[in-house]
């Protein structure tokens, strides 16, 4: 539950710390005192979209923090999923909104993105505002309400997995059919491209090899002169001894003294090895010279091949690897198109099987909803009877249609406002006051299912008064025995039921408007109830009536 809320620099609230009871907390105050700002602050902490306009003028940022205690297993599981530790069942959510529009969110001092804050917030608090009544005016939203009551998550998730597979299969088939329509033209183009590329017999890295060989051939004269000169210096020629002869003579000279002077033996061995190595190098140089003969036909072939590869790289490259990839893709697409009829037949069989599966799951989901709908109607009727609407009956209409992401059901809530009348769409016959009470009934019924510990009602009293307002107050009191309830109201019938009555009031200090929030004691509650019932000019009689009102409420 929400234990404490801290607000700093949020619109006209400079600083406020609000502590809540675990039962019914009611906020009252004059119009424009800042009740909507309080709700905006709570929305911000729950990860809802916020605007820089709510930052108090002249300050750099607004800060809202909320301390929750006794968090349930569902919230703990979500925190584990996010990798956030939570000790002693306490959770601190913080949201900072900068004057330039930036935003920072924290969970237990750890910075998180706003989507994580929202994911946790949705499990902690359920807010019902005036706009929520409008959900009843849009039949397409009714199925969500019924599913919340029915606990359809598992069935709906399983159905949607199969439905998405069905959609993907249908897309595959449609693509194949579209491909088949332009198959002939595409096939001609692919065959031409494949013939062009495959006929070249391209090898990976072939262009680099050709470039290297061409470079050698173009420099063959320089290379041959260098090779010949190097070989001559090693082996000599008809006029000059080479290095090999000099090394051999040095070796032979040492051979005469190795027996007498053993220290020279190692040098003798080295000279012998050097002579052998130089002879080997000379032979390899001669071999390279023999291979270096320039074949004009080979030279022309390499030049022509280089031009072919350059042209094909320009068309499909830039690299030869890209050309080979295009060849592979062309071959694969050719194969797919040529086997399209066979593939299409197989896909149609798979689609037919998936359609059967999806239809079976849609029927299971529909049966689940209809069974839950019977219980739903009964429980809502009981709530409405208590809320001074005994003749209003709710009905669940289901016009089954084509398969959609929500199944085959088209759910709409109908009501019969008076005994003996046929149920009609809520949007056509419900008044504002009726919508408020119907929505309260729905919220109460669903609250028993979702396990959310804190419920917030922002002006649930819209369009009601008198006995109906009193019944709403009693119902909120009943709900608060099982859940923490926060309620913003203009009605004394609801305010009098509070376990903790908080006053939101606006004052002007040093030329600036400031809003504060404080918990009222018994005398403070008397004066506030008297103000709500009779206006600003509070009389002794109004205070006596408020006193009696409080005493009567305490007996309920």
CATH architecture of 1-129+459-520: 3-Layer(aba) Sandwich (3.40)
User: Which segments of 344-483 are extended strands (E)?
Assistant: 393-398, 411-416, 424-425, 454-458
3-class secondary-structure state, position 139: helix
Counted residue by residue, the chain has a size of 556
pLDDT-derived band at 57, boundaries 50, 70, 90: confident
d(CA 374, CA 230): 103
The predicted structure's pLDDT at residue 341: 67
Average pLDDT over residues 423-439: 76
The predicted structure's pLDDT at residue 130: 58
Average pLDDT over residues 473-482: 88
The domain spans of the chain are 1-129+459-520, 197-336, 521-556
The predicted structure's pLDDT at residue 430: 67
28-54 per-position pLDDT tens digit:
988 766 777 888 888 889 888 888 888
How many CB atoms neighbour CB 471 within 10 A? 21
Beta carbons of 357 and 337 less than 8 angstroms apart: no
d(CA 429, CA 434): 9
Task: State in Å, rounded, how far the first CA of the chain is from the last one.
Answer: 24
d(CA 487, CA 127): 10
Query: Which residues are registered as beta bridge partners of 395?
Result: 414
The predicted structure's pLDDT at residue 385: 85
The predicted structure's pLDDT at residue 25: 94
96-116 per-position pLDDT tens digit:
999 888 889 999 988 999 999
| Non-local CB neighbours of 380 within 8 Å, separated by 6+ positions | 394, 438, 441, 442, 445
The predicted structure's pLDDT at residue 362: 95
How many CB atoms neighbour CB 346 within 10 A? 11
- Please, which contacts does 170-177 make with residues 24 or more away whose CB atoms are closer than 8 Å? 170/351, 172/347, 173/344, 173/347, 173/348, 173/351, 176/340, 176/343, 176/344, 176/347, 177/344
Whether pLDDT at 181 is above 70: no
Q: Which of 116, 73, 114, 64 is nearest to 92 (CA)?
A: 64
The predicted structure's pLDDT at residue 227: 79
* Element containing residue 515 per DSSP (H, E): strand 512-519
pTM equals 0.61
pLDDT-derived band at 457, boundaries 50, 70, 90: confident
Whether pLDDT at 185 is above 80: no
Q: What is the torsional sign of CA 102, 107, 110, 114?
A: negative
pLDDT-derived band at 502, boundaries 50, 70, 90: very high
The predicted structure's pLDDT at residue 420: 75
């Amino acid at each position: 539950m929400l234990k404490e809320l801290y607000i700093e620099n949020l619109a006209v609230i400079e600083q406020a710390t609000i502590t809540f009871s675990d039962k019914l907390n009611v906020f009252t105050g004059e119009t424009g005192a800042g009740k909507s700002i309080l709700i905006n602050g709570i929305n911000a902490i729950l990860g809802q979209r916020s605007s820089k306009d709510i930052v108090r003028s002249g300050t750099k940022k607004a800060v809202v923090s909320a301390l929750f205690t006794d968090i349930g297993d569902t919230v703990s599981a979500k925190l584990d999923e996010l990798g956030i530790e939570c000790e002693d069942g306490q959770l601190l959510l913080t949201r900072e909104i900068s004057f330039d529009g930036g935003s920072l969110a924290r969970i237990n001092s750890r910075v998180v993105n706003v989507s994580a804050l929202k994911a946790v917030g949705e499990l902690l608090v359920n807010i019902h505002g005036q706009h929520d009544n409008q959900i009843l005016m849009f039949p397409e939203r009714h199925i969500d309400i019924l599913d919340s009551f029915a606990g359809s998550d598992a069935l709906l998730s399983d159905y949607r997995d199969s439905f998405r597979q069905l959609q993907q299969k249908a897309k595959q088939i449609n693509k194949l059919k579209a491909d088949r329509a332009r198959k002939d033209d595409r096939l001609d183009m692919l065959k031409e491209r494949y013939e062009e590329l495959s006929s070249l017999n391209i090898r990976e890295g072939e262009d680099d090899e050709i470039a290297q060989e061409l470079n050698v051939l173009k420099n063959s004269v320089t290379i041959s002169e260098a090779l010949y000169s190097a070989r001559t210096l090693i082996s000599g020629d008809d006029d000059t001894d080479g290095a090999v002869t000099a090394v051999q003579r040095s070796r032979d000279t040492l051979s005469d003294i190795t027996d007498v002077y053993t220290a020279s033996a190692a040098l003798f061995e080295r000279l012998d090895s050097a002579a052998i190595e130089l002879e080997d190098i000379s032979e390899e140089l001669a071999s390279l010279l023999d291979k270096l003969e320039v074949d004009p036909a080979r030279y022309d072939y390499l030049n022509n091949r280089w031009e072919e590869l350059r042209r094909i790289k320009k068309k499909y490259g830039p690299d030869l690897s890209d050309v080979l990839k295009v060849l592979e893709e062309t071959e694969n697409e050719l194969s797919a198109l040529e086997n399209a009829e066979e593939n299409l037949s197989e896909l149609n069989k798979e689609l037919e099987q998936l359609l059967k599966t999806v239809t079976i799951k849609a029927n299971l989901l529909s049966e689940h909803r209809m069974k839950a709908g019977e219980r739903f109607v009964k429980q809502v009727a009981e709530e409405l009877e208590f809320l001074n609407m005994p003749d209003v009956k709710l009905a669940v209409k289901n016009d089954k249609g084509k398969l959609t992401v929500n199944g085959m059901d088209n759910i709409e809530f109908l009501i019969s406002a008076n005994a003996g009348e046929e149920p009609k769409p809520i949007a056509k016959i419900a008044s504002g006051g009726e919508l408020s009470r119907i929505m309260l009934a729905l919220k109460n019924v669903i609250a028993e299912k979702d396990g959310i510990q804190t419920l917030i009602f922002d002006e649930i009293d819209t369009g009601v008064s008198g006995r109906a307002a009193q019944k709403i107050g009693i119902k909120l009191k009943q709900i608060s025995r099982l859940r923490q309830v926060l309620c913003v109201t203009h009605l004394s019938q609801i305010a009098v039921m509070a376990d903790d009555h908080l006053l939101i009031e606006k004052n002007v200090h040093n030329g600036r408007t400031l809003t504060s929030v404080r918990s009222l004691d018994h005398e403070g509650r008397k004066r506030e109830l008297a103000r709500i019932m009779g206006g600003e000019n509070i009389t002794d009689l109004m205070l006596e009536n408020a006193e009696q009102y409080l005493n009567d409420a305490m007996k309920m």
